[in-house]
Amino acid sequence: SANVVVNGSTVNLGLWDTAGQEDYNRLRPLSYRGADVFILAFSLISKASYENVSKKWIPELKHYAPGVPIVLVGTKLDLRDDKQFFIDHPGAVPISTAQVKIFQLVHTFPETLFRYYSFSCCLDFYYLQLSDPHPSSPFFFPICKGEELRKLIGSPAYIECSSKTQQNVKAVFDAAIRVVLQPPKQKKKKSKAQKACSIL
């Protein structure tokens, strides 16, 4: 544990790092008791890690620690600007805004040519995705996918960070502390007369 100062308040921060393997499924929940906040991390280059957030971890946390806030974190942010990573893993190819808008894209790497299949664009990050990538192929999730997941699980904050470069690492813990010190206000439920009607 360590004493840290956030917004003028001194907080004693105690961290518990739990194992995710199935062998620890029965023991892991014992560490959840008394937690003020959870930091739930997924790898920005792992689809399985991303999907496990909603499929595995959220159900487990809601079962054993209902009501405890969760800060969502995307890790390995340093790879977003790592040119060598994209060369070694062509399943996630960065492309420019202009190329997307004019719908003309031919991106080449040494000795390899990729045809345009589909694109996803969010905020300032755009990626070319192979139509049927191998399940184990890395896919670099853009910011909007993290935001979508944050909203899906009801997390008050989403932060991307890199332990390698230390980018935003402090911001992760600051966000977790703020969530406890200043919990987000609950939205008032609309009356029946005010409820919106959507037809699908």
Q: Mean pLDDT over all residues of the chain? A: 72
Nearest to 149 by CA among 12, 40, 5, 34: 40
- Confidence at residue 61, expressed as pLDDT on a 0 to 100 scale: 94
- The answer to whether residue 41 scores a pLDDT higher than 90 is yes
Could you say which architecture CATH assigns to the domain 2-181?
3-Layer(aba) Sandwich (3.40)
Specify the long-range contacts of residues 170-176, CB closer than 8 Å, at least 24 apart.
172/39, 172/71, 172/73, 173/4, 173/13, 173/39, 174/6, 175/71, 176/37, 176/39, 176/71
Q: What percent of the chain has pLDDT over 70?
A: 64
Backbone torsions φ then ψ of 62, nearest 5 degrees: -70, -30
More confident residue, 38 or 119: 38
pLDDT in tens, 94-148: 543 333 333 333 333 333 333 333 333 333 333 334 333 444 445 567 788 899 9
